[in-house]
């Protein structure tokens, strides 16, 4: 009788342990899903599908922001690490960059428009100083790559730089560069490329180049007369070439707003740098 009781107790303990073992995965599975906060968003196929926060790098609470585009990586965690590194580089840009801009515009008989050559170099490599200071605000993982927005909570800038999108299309700063007390403001633009990140980066660089030219500009113009042929009739036409260059150091620069003209397929960036008028 005692042997039967012992065997019965052993069976009960064994069954209880089996049941507990089966319940463990059921309890852990939701926790794993909660940790995986980044999901594929396959609905974003064009610039018109981008969420509104992509255009919003405004420091509305006094904290600088960076919106980052990454190439397509194998998974979202790798993409996040890449985005964090790129955001740290963007934040480090405020410590100082050397910008050299050269542009050429030609109008007349052989009009090829405007060509801009921009070179941007960091004064020092201090990316590592920002990696632990950035705060993630938004992250989406798409079939073209990841898009993330980070803020710098310990940074402090003027509330006058708040250019949070108000839903207007286009925003007012596209048609008229705003005046912000204590800052020099410029707008940069770029054509659409297959990669959205490259398009925004090109518009950002254009805006920084325009800041540099505004501060350190050199301008030369050449006007010549050339002979053009039209319907076998030789005609004289005026050809005007304008060279503009500028190079210097920019500190505390920020991109505070962006916009995409989906119809014209152009990207725009609004840049600022502290400036005391003489």
Tens digit of pLDDT at every position of the chain (278 positions): 544 444 444 454 444 444 433 332 333 332 222 334 454 565 676 667 788 888 889 888 889 999 999 888 888 889 999 999 999 988 888 888 888 887 766 555 444 445 567 888 877 778 888 999 999 999 998 888 889 999 998 888 888 888 887 777 889 899 889 999 999 999 999 988 777 778 888 899 899 988 988 888 765 555 544 444 444 455 555 556 667 788 888 888 999 999 988 787 889 999 999 987 54
pTM: 0.71
Number of domains in the chain: 1
What pLDDT is attached to residue 273? 92
Question: Cα angle vertex 149, ends 146, 151, to 5°?
Answer: 150
Domain assignment of residue 82, yes or no:
yes
- For residue 45, being part of any structural domain is answered with yes
- Locate tokens 């803020």: which residue? 151
Residue 197 lies in a domain: yes
Distance, CA of 172 to CA of 189 (rounded, Å): 15
User: Do the Cβ atoms of 203 and 188 come closer than 8 Å?
Assistant: yes
Residue 154's pLDDT is what? 84
* Closest of 206, 198, 190 to residue 260, by C-alpha: 190
Structure tokens that stand for 116 in this block: 């801009």
H or E, element range at 35: helix 2-35
What's residue 55's pLDDT? 87
Domain containing 207: what range? 38-99+118-217+254-273
Residue 46 DSSP label: S
Residue 221 pLDDT:
54
Residue 177 near residue 185 (C-beta atoms within 8 A) = yes
The pLDDT assigned to 27 comes to 36
Neighbours of 194 (CB within 10 A): 7
13 lies in some domain: no
Q: DSSP 3-state assignment of 148?
A: strand
- Where are the alpha helices (H) located in 163-195, listed in sequence order? 172-175
Classify residue 157: in a domain, yes or no. Answer: yes
Is residue 195 one of the residues assigned to a domain? yes
For residue 109, tell me if it sits in a domain.
no
Please report whether residue 204 resides in a domain.
yes
């Amino acid at each position: 009788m005692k042997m039967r009781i012992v065997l019965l107790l052993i069976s009960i303990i064994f069954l209880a342990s089996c049941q507990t073992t089966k319940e463990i995965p059921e309890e852990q599975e939701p926790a794993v899903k909660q940790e995986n906060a980044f999901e594929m968003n396959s609905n974003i196929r064009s610039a018109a599908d981008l969420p509104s926060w992509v255009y919003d790098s405004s420091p509305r609470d006094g904290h600088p922001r960076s919106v980052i585009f990454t190439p397509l990586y194998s998974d979202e965690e790798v993409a996040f690490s890449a985005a964090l590194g790129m955001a740290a580089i963007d934040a480090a840009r405020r410590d100082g960059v050397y910008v050299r801009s050269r542009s050429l515009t030609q109008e007349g008989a052989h009009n090829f428009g405007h060509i801009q050559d921009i070179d941007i170099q960091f004064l020092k490599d201090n990316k590592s100083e920002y990696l632990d200071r950035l705060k993630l605000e938004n992250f989406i993982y798409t079939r073209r790559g990841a898009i993330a927005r980070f803020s710098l909570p310990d940074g402090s800038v003027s509330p006058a730089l708040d250019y949070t999108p108000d839903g207007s299309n286009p925003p007012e700063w596209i048609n008229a560069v705003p005046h912000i007390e204590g800052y020099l403001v410029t707008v940069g633009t770029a054509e659409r490329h297959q990669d959205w990140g490259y398009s925004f980066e090109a518009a950002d660089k254009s805006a920084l180049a325009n800041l540099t030219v505004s501060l350190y500009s050199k301008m030369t113009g050449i006007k010549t007369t050339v002979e053009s042929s039209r319907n076998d009739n030789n005609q004289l036409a005026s050809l005007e070439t304008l060279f503009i260059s500028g190079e210097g150091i920019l500190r505390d620069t920020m991109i505070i707003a962006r916009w995409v003209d989906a119809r014209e397929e152009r990207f725009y960036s609004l840049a600022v740098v502290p400036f005391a008028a003489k």
